[in-house]
């Protein structure tokens, strides 16, 4: 697993990194201890945020590159024993129902039974919606404007997909992408010049084209040309026409072997739907690869931007804007006493202005 808590009563969780674990525990007992077997070896313990049983944090304090072996990222594994120092009495039934117990595919629709942990996933989505949005944009290559992002959030939350066993804090952006397929992308912007193949596929489609970096339609382009020729006004909003350009993810999600440094991946497909037909013609496919530390690293990078005076205001505005979109659909599902982490930041900004 990729997350840990200190005690069974600790609220929330932290992503597992060597720095975070040792900063939180300060290498103190009962977290830092040793095995009972001889010769004794270091044993690093914590709590599973979902089932509240103990976990062992592995791959800490290793000599990097030992025996020419590539270093592994630290990870948590359930420790099926009582840990009196953490007030943990091992509970087999809770372990059996824990979604963090085994490697579950992101595509698994089996519901997670822990409402408290489901709430934690939903809270993360509200708190870090801006980071989720940025990860999607850089990974997929599409800008994910407000309307598209809101449509995805609405589907993901209202269909209860955040409760699926395969949806974890570490894969949240990719879970949102996977479980909200067949989204209309006309009018969105290609996020950078690196996605030339996608632009070419759109240009070569029957009904769509690029207008600068924006995904447009040939129907709207013809209307613009006619208006310029006849010197007539255009509608205030683009008329994309009767056709639809959408994306969906393939059903198969391949889980890479983390011990070998392999990434997880799934396939993004763009489809052109003539006259808005349910079944579209595939025009482009792309492999979407991600690791379990992709999203946690993006959160840390976002926080660093928040701490820079020259970037703080713009970064905070992005956090609040995306967070409000997510919170509008999640608020009624979360405890009344809970508030997003950006609400205080928004209040401070308003006071300063």
Per-residue pLDDT of the chain (353 residues; tens, 9 = 90+): 999 999 999 989 999 998 999 999 999 999 999 887 777 788 999 999 999 999 999 988 654 444 444 557 889 999 999 999 999 999 999 999 999 987 788 888 899 999 999 999 999 999 999 999 999 999 999 999 999 999 999 999 999 999 999 999 999 999 999 999 789 999 999 987 889 999 999 999 999 999 999 999 999 999 999 999 999 998 889 999 999 999 999 888 888 876 667 888 999 999 999 998 988 999 999 999 998 889 999 999 999 999 999 999 999 999 999 999 999 999 999 999 999 999 887 666 655 55
136 and 52, same structural domain? no
Are the C-beta atoms of residues 179 and 253 closer than 8 Å to each other? no
255 and 150, same structural domain? yes
Burial class (CB in 10 A: 0-12, 13-18, 19+), 136: buried
77 and 117, same structural domain? no
339 and 277, same structural domain? yes
Domain boundary residue, one of 79, 102, 125: 102
Report in angstroms the alpha-carbon separations of 131 from 81, 106, 163, 244, 345: 37, 19, 20, 28, 16
Domain boundary residue, one of 41, 75, 102: 102
288 and 192, same structural domain? yes
- Kindly report whether the peptide bond that precedes residue 216 is cis, defined as omega within 30 degrees of 0: no
Domain boundary residue, one of 51, 68, 102: 102
Q: Domain range for residue 64?
A: 1-102
Burial class (CB in 10 A: 0-12, 13-18, 19+), 108: middle
Tokens of 25: 């525990």
309 and 334, same structural domain? yes
58 and 205, same structural domain? no
Residue 140 gets the label, from left (phi > 0), alpha (psi -120 to 50) or beta, of: alpha
96 and 156, same structural domain? no
185 and 57, same structural domain? no
Total domain count for the chain? 2
127 and 2, same structural domain? no
Q: Taking the model in full, what pTM does it have?
A: 0.87
Cα separation, 194 vs 164, whole angstroms: 33
112 and 98, same structural domain? no
174 and 63, same structural domain? no
């Amino acid at each position: 697993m990729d997350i840990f808590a200190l005690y069974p009563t600790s609220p929330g969780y932290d992503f597992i990194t060597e720095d975070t674990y040792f900063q939180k525990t300060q290498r103190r007992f009962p977290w830092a201890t040793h095995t009972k077997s001889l010769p004794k070896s270091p044993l690093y313990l914590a709590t599973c945020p979902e089932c509240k049983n103990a976990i062992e944090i592995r791959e800490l304090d290793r000599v990097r590159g030992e025996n020419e072996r590539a270093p592994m990222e630290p990870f948590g594994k359930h420790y099926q024993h009582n840990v009196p120092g953490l007030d943990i009495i091992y509970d087999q039934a809770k372990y059996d129902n824990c979604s963090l117990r085994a490697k579950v595919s992101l595509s698994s629709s089996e519901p997670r039974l822990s409402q408290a942990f489901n709430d934690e996933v939903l809270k993360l989505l509200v708190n870090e919606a801006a980071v989720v949005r940025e990860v999607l944009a850089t990974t997929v290559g599409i800008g994910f404007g407000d309307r598209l992002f809101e449509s995805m959030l609405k589907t993901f939350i209202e269909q209860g997909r955040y409760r699926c066993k395969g949806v974890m804090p570490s894969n949240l952006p990719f879970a949102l992408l996977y479980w909200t397929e067949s989204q209309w992308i006309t009018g969105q912007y290609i996020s950078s010049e690196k996605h030339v193949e996608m632009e070419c596929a759109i240009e070569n489609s029957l009904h769509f084209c690029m207008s600068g970096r924006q995904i447009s339609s040939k129907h709207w382009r013809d209307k613009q040309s006619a208006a310029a020729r006849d010197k007539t006004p255009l509608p205030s909003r683009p008329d994309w026409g009767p056709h639809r350009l959408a994306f969906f993810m393939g059903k198969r999600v391949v889980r890479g072997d983390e011990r070998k440094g392999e990434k997880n991946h799934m396939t993004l497909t763009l489809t052109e739907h003539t006259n808005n037909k349910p079944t579209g013609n595939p025009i482009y496919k792309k492999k979407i690869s991600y690791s379990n530390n992709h999203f946690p690293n993006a959160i840390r990078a976002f926080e660093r931007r928040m701490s820079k005076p020259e970037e703080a205001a713009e970064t905070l505005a992005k956090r609040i804007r995306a967070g409000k979109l997510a919170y509008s659909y999640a608020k009624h599902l979360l405890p009344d006493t809970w508030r997003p982490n950006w609400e205080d930041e928004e209040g401070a900004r308003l006071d300063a202005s």
